[in-house]
Amino acid sequence: QLQLQESGPGLVKPSETLSLTCTVSGGSISSSSYYWGWIRQPPGKGLEWIGSIYYSGSTYYNPSLKSRVTISVDTSKNQFSLKLSSVTAADTAVYYCARLRPPGVVIRWGQGTLVTVSS
Amino acid sequence: EIVLTQSPGTLSLSPGERATLSCRASQSVSSSYLAWYQQKPGQAPRLLIYGASSRATGIPDRFSGSGSGTDFTLTISRLEPEDFAVYYCQQYGSSLTFGPGTKVDIK
A100 to chain B nearest CA, in Å?
Answer: 11
pLDDT at A68: 98
Give me the total of CB pairs closer than 8 Å, taking one residue from chain A and one from chain B.
Answer: 48
Cα separation, A21 vs A71, in Å, equals 10
Residue A90: CB atoms within 10 Å = 8
Using an 8 Å Cβ cutoff, are B79 and B86 in contact?
Answer: no
pLDDT tens-digit profile of A21-77?
Answer: 999 999 999 988 999 999 999 999 999 999 999 999 999 999 999 999 999 999 999
B3 to chain A nearest CA, in Å?
Answer: 12
List CB contacts (< 8 A) between A60 and chain B: 95
Are B92 and A105 inside 8 Å of each other by CB? yes
Using an 8 Å Cβ cutoff, are A71 and A52 in contact?
Answer: yes
pLDDT tens-digit profile of B12-61?
Answer: 999 999 999 999 999 999 888 999 999 999 999 999 999 999 999 999 99
A78 to chain B nearest CA, in Å?
Answer: 21
pLDDT tens-digit profile of B21-33?
Answer: 999 999 999 888 9
pLDDT at B90 over 90: yes
pLDDT at B11: 97
Interface residue A44 vs chain B (CB under 8 A)? no
Interface residue B53 vs chain A (CB under 8 A)? no
Interface residue A65 vs chain B (CB under 8 A)? no
Task: Please give the backbone phi and psi of residue A90, each rounded to the nearest 5 degrees, phi first.
Answer: -65, -15
pLDDT at A8: 97
Cα separation, B28 vs B94, in Å, equals 10
User: What are the start-end ranges of the H helices in chain A?
Assistant: none
Give the length of chain B: 107
One-letter identity of residue B56: A
Q: Is the peptide bond before A102 cis (omega within 30 degrees of 0)?
A: no
Pairing verdict, β A79-84 and B97-98: unpaired
Using an 8 Å Cβ cutoff, are A13 and A89 in contact?
Answer: no
